[in-house]
Amino acid sequence: MESAAANPMSIDDRQSVGGLSISRVFFEFVEQELLPSIDFRSEVFWSGLESIVTELTPINRSLLTVRDELQQKIDEWHVARQGNPWKQADYVAFLKDLGYLADAGKPFQIETANVDAEIADIAGPQLVVPVSNARFAINAANARWGSLYDALYGTDVISEDNEQQRGGGYNPARGAAVIRYATAFLDNAIPLDGVSHADVNSYGLDRLDTGTVFVASLANGETKSLKDPQQFVGFSVDGEQLGYLFRNNGLHIEIQVNPDHPVGRDATANVADVILESAVTTIQDCEDSVAAVDAKDKVGVYRNWLGLITCELEATLEKSGKAITRKPNQDRVYTATDGGELALSGRSLLLVRNVGHLMTTDAVLDTAGDEIFEGILDAVITTACAMTDRRREGYQPNSSSGSIYIVKPKMHGPEEVAFTDKLFSRVEQLLELESNTIKVGVMDEERRTTINLAECIRAVSKRIVFINTGFLDRTGDEIHTSMQAGPVLPKEAIKKEPWINAYEDWNVDIGIRCGLPGKAQIGKGMWPKPDEMLQMMETKQAHPEAGANCAWVPSPTAATLHAMHYHAVNVRQRQHALAKRKLASLDDILTPPLGDLSRLSANEIQAELDNNAQGILGYVVRWIDQGVGCSKVPDIDDVGLMEDRATLRISSQHIANWLLHGIAKKGQVLETFKRMAKIVDRQNEGDASYERMSDDFDSSIAFQAACALVFEGCSQPNGYTEPLLHRYRRQKKAQLAT
């Protein structure tokens, strides 16, 4: 069990209920906001929470002990064989004897029921956003629909050559390039019969006995229909603006026509915009992108999640000298082709990512006075918040099937997944929900989960709705698991090792074989460069082609652009084709990314250290000093990268490995951190709230935290960064409070 450093509260700051000691701020949130919103009795809630904590805490502790024992035995095995040639067969046999690699059970198909179409049937982009930031959380929820014109105009997808520059007001030349790009997309996604959308003079409707049909009129008076007329599903009228709604590969496209619009006035067929259904689903994150280290922080996280589900959350910001309030979008209403009403949600279907099994929280102390496991509290509270979905008015429900979707990260193997199933069952009993109301997303980001993925899925076969891959956390766990085996390759070389592609394919192969298509998502990881959208468009179509029916993107704009890939690729057809291929190699997956680094020059080693240290510092300084868990952090070349704790885990474990095996020395690493701190200070000069590290390294809590992540990296549980981050962030909060 990992508890952050002590964070004393006076007795006046806590409320005793039964055997629990509850933080006052958390108690008041539950009593005054949460329980009234679901009309649930206080005494039943608190006694039920205590019962769950009492029953499940020993199991949780035992599972963490198993993690440590397995790692110790793996370390001892590697140490005993140092200097000997690597024998893969011996290694795999050892892992099997150890119980690390479980026996495969009989083939099975998942039985998850009552899954919303956004998860079961529709392939599309997925956003992940820190729920602690209300503005980001609302923007992500609202990213269900996005302007293709805006996404193209404001990014590098459209070249700035030939007088097509951004900035300085509207550039007609750039606007024309945007329209050409969007028109080419329409020709591919919803083609007309025999002509291009560029040839259209006007769009319109014909009313037939069978219903309303879409027509396109050419300059010569000829009319054309869609190549597949069934793609047209509805229309809307709002003053001078007409909206024509289409569906392709399950995703909607709306062509907005408005002759009075500044763009539509001069555009072919007066098309003012093309609106794409974009982030079909969004994961509201309580974990890696959030810096929540105490009860007050957790209440902020829970309050935002509650407000998102009730659609009452608002965020005000200043833009161009004016106050702008963000709130959840209203639903979109169209007239269907049969004359009836067609209502579509204006918001992404929301999942919530809880924390893993490791950390504890001071929001509640158990009967022994110990912090309870944060993952247990997350399961109870985020589920209770999600129950308000059934009570709100004026909006379509988040889940039309009445399900609650929780993504569970950082689980190691089938026993830990089974524990989550038990936890969710107990929460359902407490909150009087039907069995398997709570659905689970299993993140395939730890080595013991990857190699036992089918058995992990089996453990939650009646509630699973999501699996995915994540290179960074998975690589961090790979390094830590094999820490004593030898030095790992440089990070870029690790990406080229056979285990990576085998891991990515294995996830899809196992998911398909276990029956996820049509019932659950198979996902792929984040595009980390929010300013490099052209590069994303050129490469990220590989994710749907790999059989993934969702993949993570860093912004609403990226979601709109990435949506085009799902119009180009029918993911269900790809999954059907991939079901016939040979299962990916488990031997490749179990081959650690080790190498002979003797050929690396001193400059190459230093460059790797510089890159890792700069990335660690750039992220940690905001986490510790400002409580920012996810942000666009400039890398060593000043390229902005979206970073959260997963990026930190791989970088810190990488340096720790090189220190352990003598590739670098402690003094060299410390000097590197000090030199990189000056670069990070320079990169943050425009941030008025930023605290420089290089002015006084000894007094900078953020600098000390960054160093600790490396110098204590070998001893951190599974290489996780949370224990140290929480400890130093609490120190910083205590300093700020004095």
Q: What is the pLDDT of residues 503-561, one digit of tens each?
A: 999 999 999 999 999 999 999 999 999 999 999 999 999 999 999 999 999 999 999 99
Question: Average pLDDT for residues 709-731, to the nearest whole number?
Answer: 98
Q: What pLDDT is stored for residue 5 in this prediction?
A: 41
Contact 427, 438 (CB under 8 A): yes
pLDDT at 10 over 80: no
The answer to whether domain 11-132+286-311+349-589 has CATH 2.60.120.430 is no
Strands 241-248, 232-238: pairing is: antiparallel
Task: Give 390's pLDDT tier (boundaries 50, 70, 90).
Answer: confident
Which residues lie closer than 8 Å to 168 by C-beta, 6 or more apart?
none
DSSP character for 229?
A: G
pLDDT digits (tens, 9 = 90+) for 635-669: 999 999 988 899 999 999 999 999 999 999 999 99
Three-state SS for 5? coil
How much is the pLDDT for 398? 97
Q: Which of 523, 511, 419 is nearest to 471 (CA)?
A: 523
Tell me what pLDDT residue 8 has.
Answer: 43
Separation CA 551–CA 378 (nearest Å): 24
Distance from C-alpha of 69 to C-alpha of 717, rounded to nearest angstrom: 11
SS3 per-residue string spanning 372-402? EEHHHHHHHHHHHHHHHHHCCCCCCCCCCCC
Q: What does the alpha-carbon distance between residue 408 and residue 387 come to, in Å, rounded to a whole number?
A: 18
Mean pLDDT value of segment 254-276:
95
Q: Quick one: pLDDT at residue 116?
A: 98
Residue 446 has pLDDT above 80, yes or no: yes
Q: 2: which DSSP letter? A: B
* Distance in angstroms (rounded) separating the CA atoms of residues 39 and 401: 21
**Active-site positions?**
353, 644
Q: Provide the pLDDT for residue 6.
A: 41
C-beta separation of 251 from 244 below 8 A: no
pLDDT, greater one: 225 or 8: 225
Residue 1's pLDDT band, with cuts at 50, 70 and 90, is low
Average pLDDT in the 242-249 region?
98
Q: If DSSP codes are grouped into helix, strand and coil, which group holds residue 238?
A: strand
Rounded (5°) CA angle 278-260-334: 45
Nearest CA-CA partner of 353 in 401, 420, 419: 420
pLDDT at 258 over 60: yes
Q: What are the tens digits of pLDDT across the range 160-194?
A: 999 999 988 899 999 999 999 999 999 999 999 99
pLDDT in tens, 587-636: 999 999 999 999 999 999 999 999 999 999 999 999 999 999 998 899 99
342-364: burial string, b at 16+ Cβ within 10 Å, e else = bebbbbbbbbbbbbbbbbbbbbb
Mean pLDDT of the chain: 96
Q: How confident is the model at residue 2 (pLDDT cuts 50, 70, 90)?
A: low
Nearest to 59 by CA among 449, 422, 446: 422
Residue 382: pLDDT over 70:
yes
Minimal CA–CA distance to 705: which of 621, 632, 618? 621
Query: Which tokens go with 192?
Result: 């007309």
When pLDDT is cut at 50, 70 and 90, the band that residue 7 belongs to is very low
pLDDT tens, 573-586? 999 999 999 999 99
Q: Confidence band (pLDDT; 50, 70, 90) for 68?
A: very high
Sequence letter at residue 585: S
Contact in structure between 140 and 279 (CB atoms under 8 Å)? yes
Which residues contact residue 604 at a Cβ distance below 8 angstroms, ignoring those fewer than 6 apart? 490
Q: Is the pLDDT of residue 464 over 90?
A: yes
The structure's pTM equals: 0.96
Residue range 80-96, pLDDT digits in tens: 999 899 999 999 999 99
Query: How many Cβ atoms sit within 10 Å of the Cβ of residue 699?
Result: 11
Top-level CATH class of 602-737? mainly alpha
| CA-based nearest residue to 307, from 130, 556, 129, 134 | 134
Percent of the chain whose predicted confidence (pLDDT) is above 70: 98
CA–CA distance from 644 to each of 204, 289, 596, 713 (Å)?
A: 48, 5, 30, 17
pLDDT tens by residue, 487-498: 999 999 999 999
Class of domain 145-277: mainly beta
Region 89-116 average pLDDT: 97
Domain extents in the chain = 11-132+286-311+349-589, 145-277, 602-737
Confidence of residue 700 (pLDDT cuts 50, 70, 90): very high
Letter string b/e over residues 607-627, b meaning 16 or more CB atoms within 10 A of that residue's CB: ebbbbbbbbbbbbbbbbbbbb
- What value does the mean pLDDT take over residues 416-430? 98
